[in-house]
Amino acid sequence: MTSKPLEKIVQELPPDIYEEVRDFAQFLLSKRTRRGKKTLRQNWAGALSKYRDQYTSVKLQHQAANWRDK
């Protein structure tokens, strides 16, 4: 089975389905453009500084591995 180009398929759709496909395509485009505009928030930076002397990064990695295994 050979697939038709998308443009050809869309041209053959009845008007009501054509509108639905167009709306969905616009939704996909807006979803992609919204995702690209997000900026990285780093408001969490330094939130755990009071635990700096209590835990090392290695200890935290081991604890995180234990949490994942449960």
**CB–CB of 10/21 below 8 Å?**
yes
The Cα 64–Cα 55 span in angstroms is: 13
Among 26, 25, 4, 29, CA closest to 12: 4
Closest CA to 24 of 13, 40, 37: 13
- pLDDT at residue 39 in the model: 79
The 3-state DSSP class for residue 48 equals coil
Residue 37 is predicted with a pLDDT of 61
Can you give the residue ranges of every domain in the chain? 6-38+45-69
Tens digits of per-residue pLDDT, 20-54? 999 999 999 888 776 656 677 888 888 888 888 88
pLDDT digits (tens, 9 = 90+) for 46-55: 888 888 888 8
